Amino acid sequence: MIDIQHISKQFGKFQVLKDVNLTCAPGQCIALIGPNGCGKTTLIKSILGMVIPTSGTILFNGKNIASDYHYRHQIGYMPQKGRYPDNMTIGQVIDMIKDIRNTKSELDEELIDAFRLNDIMDKKMMNLSGGTTQKVSASLAFLFNPDVLILDEPTAGLDPLAAEILKEKIIAENKKGKLIFITSHLLSELDDLVTDVVLMQEGDIRFHMSTSLLKEQTNTTSLAKAITYILKRDHVQ
């Protein structure tokens, strides 16, 4: 579905992505993990067309994304830190994105209901807490039933109840065959979500493996243990 071929990105002298290759299929739920500054966000932004790679191509359903912006109809994106025009209300922001997207497909308002955003539709964005803003971001990402969901630190800042709602939603959408990308530092949280793990280090992909295979190879029971095992093993060598 998404085919990343030999992507490199340089910011000045600093090489953020080094010849990255990655193929993703529908139905996968991919955890993108790695230390700070390893290029996770740059990779995600390249897929979204926000960062333009120095070289390489990204194919979305076989089509190069550089020439066409319409593929973004099929992507829902939840940023790490959303910020919206201060004086708009939640309702206006949602209406605006609906208006911009202009989709005919059915809307998925499940998260709006689950987060009880309907009760606070008239609140201005500047008066919202960080967590509530994140709820708005999450609702917007899922609203248009996209085939691909890109979630950057989705549960950071959410209260435990909201985080649980979001996790269940992610699992449900994944079961419907959607491709989901998640970046997170909370490995324990990813355990029951993801089907695949991509570990990035210094702008390169160390490995891309299914969780079951990873656990089997490292002989561990949880994702957190498996990743710690691998990082420690590297350290010893």
Partner 1 sequence: MFNKIQKFILFDILKNRIVIAYTLLLAVLAWSVFSLEDDSNKGVLTLLNIVLLTTPLVSIIFTTIYLYNSAEFIELLLSQPVRRSKIWAGLFLGLFFSLGLSFMIGAGIPILLFVAGRTAFILLVMGILITAIFVSLGFLCTILARDKARGIGIAILLWLYFSLLFDGLVLFLLFQFADYPIEKVMVVVSALNPIDLARIFIILQLDVSAMLGYTGAIFKDFFGTGLGAVLGFLLLCLWAVIPYLISRRLFIRKDL
> Is the CB of 137 or the CB of 211 nearer to partner 1?
137
The nearest distance, CB 60 to partner 1, in angstroms, is 12
d(CA 146, CA 149): 7
Residues 6+ apart with CB under 8 A from 162: 115, 131, 134, 135
| Sole residue written with tokens 């530092």 | 185
Smallest gap from Cβ 188 to partner 1, in A, equals 28
CB of 14 to partner 1, least distance (A): 12
> Taking the complex as a whole, how short is the minimal distance between the CB of residue 86 and partner 1, in angstroms?
7
CB of 221 to partner 1, least distance (A): 36
* Least distance to partner 1, CB of residue 79, Å: 6
Tokens read off for 210: 């299914």
Please say which residue, 140 or 165, places its beta carbon nearer to partner 1. 140
Taking each continuous run of H as one helix and of E as one strand, the counts in the chain are 8, 10
CB 30 within 8 A of CB 1: no
**Which positions touch partner 1 (CB under 8 A)?**
9, 11, 45, 48-52, 69-73, 75, 77, 79, 81-88, 92, 96-97, 99-101, 140
- Rounded distance, CA 200 to CA 181, Å? 14
Strands 179-183 and 29-33: parallel
Read out DSSP for 49-89?
TSS--SEEEEEETTEETTS-SGGGGGEEEE-SS----TT-B
| Beta carbon nearer to partner 1, 34 or 82 | 82
Q: Which is nearer to partner 1, 86 or 106 (CB)?
A: 86
Closest CA to 183 of 174, 173, 193: 193
Other beta carbons within 10 Å of 82: 20
Cβ closest to partner 1, residue 75 vs residue 199: 75
Q: Which is nearer to partner 1, 96 or 209 (CB)?
A: 96
